[in-house]
Amino acid sequence: MKYLVGYAADAGGREALALGRLLARASNVTLTVCTVVPSSWGYPSPARVDVEYEVFLARHAQRILAQARSALGDMPGAEFISRAAPSATEGLAEAAAETGAALVVLGSARHGPLGRFTIGSVSHDIFYAVSVPVALAPRGYHPAVETRLKRITCVYMPTPGSRAALDEAVQLCRRHGAPLRVVALVVRDKQMYPSGVGYNIENMVANVWKTEAIEAQQKVVAELPPDLKVTTSIGDGPDWKKALDSLGWEDSELLVVGSSVQSRVSRLLLGTNSARIIRSSPVPVVVVPHPPGDG
Partner 1 sequence: MSNTVSWAATLLRKKPVQSLTTEMAGSDRQGHLAPTMGLFQLTMLGVGATIGTGIFIVLTQAVPKAGPGVVLSFGIAGITAALTALCYAELASTIPVSGSSYSYAYATLGELVAYLVGWCLLLEYGVSASAIAVGWGQYLNEMFVDILGWRMPDAISEPPGHGGYFNLPSVVLVAMCCLLLLRGARESATINAMMVVTKILILLIFIVIAFSAFDPANLKPFAPFGIAGIGSAAGTIFFSYIGLDAVSTAGEEVKNPRRNLPLAIVFALLLVTSLYVLVALAGIGAQPWTSFAGQEAGLAVILRNLTGANWGSLMISIGAVISIFSVTLVVIYGQTRILFAMGRDGMLPAWFYRVDPRTLTPVHNTIIVGIFISVLAAFIPLDILADLTSMGTLVAFAVVSAGVIILRRTQPDLPRGFKVPFYPVAPILSVGFCLYLIVSLPAHTFLLFAVWLAVALVVYFTYSIRNSQLSPQRARSGQAAGQ
The Cα–Cα gap between 225 and 84 comes to 44
The per-residue b/e assignment along 138-163, b for 16 or more CB within 10 angstroms, e otherwise, is bbebebeeeeebebbbbbbbebebbb
Contact region with partner 1 (CB under 8 A), list: 21-29, 157-165, 170-178, 218-226: 157-165
Total residues at interface with partner 1 (CB under 8 A)? 41
Report 257-286 residues binding partner 1 (CB under 8 A). Answer: 260, 269-271, 273
212 or 250: whose CB is closer to partner 1?
212
Q: Does 218 engage in binding with partner 1 (CB under 8 A)?
A: no
Nearest one of 176, 73, 91 to 129, comparing CA atoms: 91
Task: Tell which one of 148, 192, 229, 295 touches partner 1 (CB under 8 A).
Answer: 192
Task: Tell which one of 212, 233, 245, 279 touches partner 1 (CB under 8 A).
Answer: 212
Q: Coil, strand or helix: which one is 181?
A: strand
Binding mask 47-86 for partner 1 (x = CB under 8 A): ----------------------------------------
Binding mask 159-178 for partner 1 (x = CB under 8 A): x--x----------------
CB of 199 to partner 1, least distance (A): 5
From residue 199, alpha-carbon distances to 151, 173, 192, 281 in Å are 39, 43, 8, 29
Report 219-258 residues binding partner 1 (CB under 8 A). Answer: 236-238, 246
- The angle, 0 to 180 degrees and rounded to 10, between the axes of the packed helices 49-72 and 11-23 is 50
100 or 238: whose CB is closer to partner 1?
238
CB of 189 to partner 1, least distance (A): 5
Q: Give the ranges where the chain is alpha helix by DSSP (H).
A: 11-23, 49-72, 88-99, 121-129, 160-176, 201-223, 240-245, 264-270, 273-280
CB of 108 to partner 1, least distance (A): 25
145 or 201: whose CB is closer to partner 1?
201
Nearest one of 243, 248, 252 to 231, comparing CA atoms: 248
Alpha-carbon dihedral sign for residues 21, 24, 25, 28: negative
- The angle, 0 to 180 degrees and rounded to 10, between the axes of the packed helices 88-99 and 121-129 is 40
Q: By the criterion CB under 8 A, which residues form the site for partner 1? A: 157-159, 162, 186-209, 211-213, 216, 236-238, 246, 260, 269-271, 273
